[in-house]
Structure 1
């Protein structure tokens, strides 16, 4: 490695030159004892030869904070799994917090963060106000947002998914099957991901030359109860839909329950598409056709991105969206 590049040497370059993984270099930097002594000596020699030093402000220990709004869903568990796998490999520990969308709990979490001196923070579907960004910046703590809801600020890296494309794919699948009366059960309208999925639905309908009747587009939240209530409202319309695209798998399952109560069958009487591809989507009957959001991969990439920031690296692209894709199962078919 050329000496002229020393000022820009990264942990990835150190790992490449030493012939080891970036997680091994992270373990050496963090003083973990599960690295062979000869490997540790070699990595330290490569770092010394290239003048690599961790930024002093990042030398804060081995803790990373993972903050979610809720912990009671498969979606949250997938996030925790993805983050834990990466941090475990890097020899880092995770502090898990749920703020339940409440300002007071968020403030308490920030106060605790200051005392335990975490190396970095992963925020998941959490609003990050300018005041909180300033407080985190004052602590010198790098932050990465997963599935951002907006207002992150240009200086905060984000990891998301192609929600618009997913909304388009789920709706287009129903159109290709021959459905013309397609409703959308949406998530919270103030969330970027919800609006993008709804926009994808609207674009697919418009491209097919279809109209959206009154009552066919509604917003609630991403849980099962919301899907149940919104589907009941759809069934009460003078001309109910023959297909429903839900903004989450949980909403789709709520729709399943509302349809069963009315004596309707999926997909014989009405087709249902979800969004997320949670593990439960494969276990329900019939198995749910859904748009796969790579939740595990998003979480893992967010954790790796945070580790890069902790080690003083500069990100080539602070805004990343991973691809969604349609997974066709048994909950969709041509209209009767």
Structure 2
């Protein structure tokens, strides 16, 4: 910002030029948060700054300077997808020389969370509603990634689950498939799986939009029951999904294609089909969701499947944009945005046998 602009702003707001200059540089001494907000409100209204840029400066000026002001919160560590989201968050914050702290929830929820240190919380994945309510009660700007919730003051970033699954159905129909199954093991008892339900709805909408008869018998879904979240180990998940996959083999006639709610369902389904003497895609085509093999930190031992690829890193970037913008525009309502997926063919889709 040029000096003459600083002087102009100072004159119009009745402030000293040095005070305006400190606010515009994000200096946390010699200027109060209230005065800084006054300066930044002027700059935003005159299109000198975006809401995001103003929020970034307010965070720098903020009074809570003891340690990190930005926290990423998760209840599941070690998930490659959320590692990718975290990298996106870190990359975006580094542009402004901020560094987040990672906080993993335990059985006590957020009882041990350092509320006095936090201005912003980006929550990775599903958490209990009470956790989000506790954050907003403490005036912490909160954005949830990979979920959608109805909690006042909480914004959400997700992939376009419904539209992406609709597109997956259309891809298979274009290949000539008419008997397409959907495979999903929900975890609603632990925490409502919004993303999975949206994908299931997208599967149904895809049939309706294409004029293909929707057969409920091809909707192969289950529910993890009587499982405490602390005991939700990968082994428990895999075992439950395998049981669900075997129900595909009971369908008469067999489907010519299956859409899996995520890649892990697709990987396990392929194993079950191979064990039954069926080949993918010669006998049954598979489309998954997530794009695990496209992750920079891909740790899966499974061969890729054709899938709807989620832009996990971009979701992290968008979460930061939303959170820091809300620091400035405190009266703005919560927002819900979707990041589009892309389809990637990995050789598990082919025309049906005739």
Q: Is 1:98 the counterpart of 2:104 in the alignment?
A: yes
The secondary structure found in structure 2 opposite 1:205 is helix
Is the CA contact 1:224–1:252 (under 8 Å) kept in the aligned structure 2? Answer: no
Within-5 A mapping of 1:1-336: 3=12, 7=38, 9=40, 13=44, 17=48, 22=53, 26=56, 30=60, 54=61, 61-99=67-105, 104-106=107-109, 109-114=110-115, 117-129=117-129, 131-150=130-149, 152-188=150-186, 190-207=192-209, 208-214=211-217, 216-220=219-223, 224-279=238-293, 287-311=304-328, 318-336=335-353
Question: Mean Cα displacement is larger for which, 323-332 or 270-279?
Answer: 323-332
Change (3 A) 1:123 1:183: same
TM-score of the two chains, using structure 1 as the length reference = 0.76
Mapped partners of 1:28, 1:315: distance in 2: 16
In the TM superposition, residue 219 of structure 1 has moved relative to its aligned partner by 3.5
Deviation digits for residues 52-81 of structure 1 (CA, Å, limit 9, x no counterpart): xx565x666533211123123222222222
Query: What is the number of residues matched between the two proteins?
Result: 301
TM-score of the two chains, using structure 2 as the length reference = 0.72
Mapped partners of 1:176, 1:330: distance in 2: 16
Change (3 A) 1:182 1:28: closer
RMSD of equivalent CA atoms: 3.5
**Higher relative contact order (Cα pairs below 8 Å, separated by 6+ residues):** 2
Is the CA contact 1:27–1:91 (under 8 Å) kept in the aligned structure 2? Answer: no
Is the CA contact 2:59–2:327 (under 8 Å) kept in the aligned structure 1? Answer: no
The secondary structure found in structure 1 opposite 2:144 is strand
Change (3 A) 1:146 1:255: same
Change (3 A) 1:91 1:12: farther
